[in-house]
Structure 1
Amino acid sequence: MERSEIIIGGDTAGIEWRVPVFRFRGRDSAAPSVYIQAALHANELPGTALLHFLLERLRTAEAEGAIRGDITVVPQANPIGLAQYHFGEMEGRFDLGSRTNFNRDFPLVALAGRDTLLEKLESRSAADRLKRMLLHTALGADLVLDLHCDDESLQYAYIDDAFWPEAADLASTLDMEAVFLSDGESTAFEEAVGHAFKHQGGDKLKTVPGRLAITVELRGRRDVYPDMARRDADGLWAFLAGRGIVTDPAHKAKPYAGPAVPLDNIEMVKAPEPGTVLFHRGIGDEVKAGDLLATLIVRPGEAGGTLAVTAGHDGLIATRCSARHARRGDDLMKIACREATRRDRKPGTLED
């Protein structure tokens, strides 16, 4: 194993950020290569825990000669966000300096333009340099996994149509309960990787066999436990074995049995008014149109001071917010539905 660091000079004097990078060299040049990172949103730590245990297993595999393809692992990809606390709580998702989501504004380049990402780095902000160097590193691999989590959530993933159903093996080994098929039209890290994979000269490719770029949502932010992380690490190991990146004679493939729905089929349940949230249904529940999802106490103590929030469509509750007070328009739930929930969704991500 090789350990190196991506070094990011700060935007003010005396500050420097270091991102540890772990590399395992495969013994078979024909085997696929993989890049895996976690905690790009610095406060989303289930992936960091998973990769800690996966790295233990990879070191053992290396000693046994069981690593066939090159593996690059970045278990904590965002030291800038990791250090940004506001009133005692880590922000993690948004850069306090620019108010920009750490998982947005990645440059969209063709695969042949990979090295342009490193041009004029000295003139760019620390956050922009971090994004460019992570993306440059990732584009050296065939398969790219970006490990995130939601607020309160099932295990699910965002997967570009171009990589489905080939990516069903990852959905299976990680026991995902849903897959959201994305359109690849944002500047998030995974979609910037997908953009490069689909632009390899000539027309945009509709499918990219042998390539992969996925955002994995490892349940909720509080789901950071040793047994859970080890189980997820075993799932990711099984994916690597199935793809021939590591050798494991005991590996047995299994089909993915969960739903795979386009983003147009995701009902974003929002708070119509501000109030205290009383949830009636939880993640993993199947609901019917009209079912009561939550009650908002909008005028505490007053007769008729509550407001019912109901499901607009049949589907599976995939996520739920952990906050128990909502502002007007806040997201309360995501429901994976069997039909399109709206016709006016703009291409791109579901949330900022």
Structure 2
Amino acid sequence: MKTTHLPLPSPAPGMQRHLTVHEYGDGPRKAYLQAGLHADEWPGLLTLQHLMEKLDTLEQAGQIRQRIVIVPFANPVGMNQRLFGKFPGRFDATTGQNFNRGMSLSTGALTHRVGHLLNAEADQNDVQVRDALRQLVEEKPAHYEIEALHKALLSQSIDAHLMLDLHCDDHALPHVFYGDHQRPTGAQLSDCLGFAIRLEEDVRGTVAFDGSHTQPWITLAENTGKPFAEPCFAATVELRGQKDVSDALARQDAEGLLAFLEQQGFVSNSGATAQPQQGDTLSINVDQVKVITSPANGLVVYHRALGDWVDAGDLLAEIVLLDSHRPERVPVPAPASGRLFSQTNTFLTSPGASIGMIASKDQQIQPGTQLSY
């Protein structure tokens, strides 16, 4: 394993942060995995530690077949946000920007730069596109610290053939986001992890870190009609909820990730197996997810559990009003039929705040729209 420390610009006198990058193996194909881009989401941090233990063993046995790059903590900026014992970690304190938004490359600039160089040879086109993507990342401005962070991360990931970004929800069933144009590989990843809920998204719209790696390829293919041999597959892996940090779960998830890496040809003879799945497979588009919002101020009390199937109108939760003249509750009916797969862990809520998500069978939002900011 080769370890590199990428310095980030100093945000203040006497302060210096860096990204740690571990690289295993060699070969023309690259897999990139990171955790903690939202710095308050910790299950992935432990999962990557367990995965690295397995990769160390495989490397010593000569069983790593391609390049595997691991960034064990993707956001040292957010990890430094310690406010009275709490760890916000989701938004940049200087700009207010979500750490998982706003880093995508200009697909128009990519088409202008490389479109005329493409031909009927898919392998050659892949080389041209990855070269151009690296150049565009190098040219990205980095005036703010968050821009420098995004640029550093993209410098390691943008030319990958496989990119996995490990996250978690507040309190949720495990689930995976991936492009709806990459359904077979997304299903393979989900099968290896044993994750029943698969959310497929249109990456032509607003994208997070994962979509920043797939959007250029699908847009370029549509704009030019040229073939590509192996565009990047990218996914966001949601490792349950914020409090699901344990060696048992991390070992299980690392095993699933390693099984996927082996099926994708990055390692061999790992002994890793696909993990057992809890519940029936539910593959839907992201635009079929219904976000449940609070109708009032107060404490949310749930009447249905994660994984429950609910019908529209079922009593899902109640908001206990704290400033009423007498004890009073406001019912929260299920706004759609489907499986309840996410809940908030911020029980003191306010009107319009998200308190859960339902995987439904009907369209709820416009394709290409993010579920939350």
TM-score when scaled to structure 1? Answer: 0.91
- Which residue in 1 is equivalent to 2:285? 262
Q: CA-to-partner distance for each residue in 1:176-225, whole Å, 9 max, x for gaps? A: 12011111122411111112232446627799774311111000011000
Deviation at 1:299, TM superposition (A): 4.9
- Which residue in 2 is equivalent to 1:65? 62
Q: CA-to-partner distance for each residue in 1:38-81, whole Å, 9 max, x for gaps? A: 00001111111000010010010000011011100001010000
Alignment check: 8 A CA contact 1:24 1:62 kept? yes
- Which residue in 1 is equivalent to 2:113? none
- Which residue in 1 is equivalent to 2:369? 348
What are the ranges of 5 or more consecutive residues in structure 1 without an aligned counterpart? Answer: none
The reply to whether residue 291 of structure 1 matches residue 314 of structure 2 is yes
1:345–1:302 Cα change, 3 Å: farther
1:207–1:351 Cα change, 3 Å: farther
Helix, strand or coil at the partner of 1:348: coil
Deviation at 1:140, TM superposition (A): 2.2
Deviation at 1:138, TM superposition (A): 0.5
- Which residue in 2 is equivalent to 1:85? 82
The one-letter amino acid of 2:185's match is E
- Which residue in 1 is equivalent to 2:157? 138
Q: Take 2:11 and 2:326, find their aligned partners in 1: how far apart are those partners?
A: 54
Alignment check: 8 A CA contact 1:39 1:147 kept? yes
The reply to whether residue 320 of structure 1 matches residue 343 of structure 2 is yes
- Which residue in 2 is equivalent to 1:104? 101
1:229–1:102 Cα change, 3 Å: same
Helix, strand or coil at the partner of 1:167: helix
The reply to whether residue 224 of structure 1 matches residue 224 of structure 2 is no
The one-letter amino acid of 1:203's match is N
1:141–1:280 Cα change, 3 Å: same
Alignment check: 8 A CA contact 1:180 1:260 kept? yes
Deviation at 1:15, TM superposition (A): 1.8
Alignment check: 8 A CA contact 1:199 1:205 kept? no
The reply to whether residue 43 of structure 1 matches residue 66 of structure 2 is no
Q: Take 2:229 and 2:327, find their aligned partners in 1: how far apart are those partners?
A: 57
Q: CA-to-partner distance for each residue in 1:70-112, whole Å, 9 max, x for gaps? A: 1000010100000012232111101111111001110324342
- Which residue in 2 is equivalent to 1:276? 299
The reply to whether residue 237 of structure 1 matches residue 250 of structure 2 is no
- Which residue in 2 is equivalent to 1:182? 201
Alignment check: 8 A CA contact 2:192 2:273 kept? no
Q: CA-to-partner distance for each residue in 1:143-195, whole Å, 9 max, x for gaps? A: 00000000001100111112113221100111112011111122411111112
Tell me which moved more, 243-252 or 313-322: 243-252
Q: Take 1:197 and 1:233, find their aligned partners in 2: how far apart are those partners?
A: 28
What are the ranges of 5 or more consecutive residues in structure 2 without an aligned counterpart? Answer: 111-128
Q: Take 1:106 and 1:281, find their aligned partners in 2: how far apart are those partners?
A: 37
- Which residue in 2 is equivalent to 1:21? 21
Q: Take 1:207 and 1:286, find their aligned partners in 2: how far apart are those partners?
A: 42
Pick one of 195, 199, 224 that aligns with 2:215.
195
Deviation at 1:119, TM superposition (A): 2.6
Alignment check: 8 A CA contact 2:256 2:274 kept? no
1:203–1:43 Cα change, 3 Å: same
1:205–1:269 Cα change, 3 Å: farther
Q: Take 1:146 and 1:80, find their aligned partners in 2: how far apart are those partners?
A: 17
Alignment check: 8 A CA contact 1:162 1:208 kept? no
Q: Take 2:245 and 2:306, find their aligned partners in 1: how far apart are those partners?
A: 17
Q: Take 1:239 and 1:133, find their aligned partners in 2: how far apart are those partners?
A: 26
The reply to whether residue 114 of structure 1 matches residue 114 of structure 2 is no
1:73–1:234 Cα change, 3 Å: same
Q: CA-to-partner distance for each residue in 1:100-127, whole Å, 9 max, x for gaps? A: 1001110324342322222375x52121
- Which residue in 2 is equivalent to 1:54? 51
Alignment check: 8 A CA contact 1:163 1:209 kept? no
RMSD: 2.4
Q: Take 1:212 and 1:248, find their aligned partners in 2: how far apart are those partners?
A: 23
Pick one of 167, 170, 178 that aligns with 1:151.
170
1:57–1:277 Cα change, 3 Å: same
Tell me which moved more, 271-280 or 146-155: 271-280
Helix, strand or coil at the partner of 2:210: helix
Identity of aligned residues (%): 32
- Which residue in 1 is equivalent to 2:329? 306
Helix, strand or coil at the partner of 1:166: helix
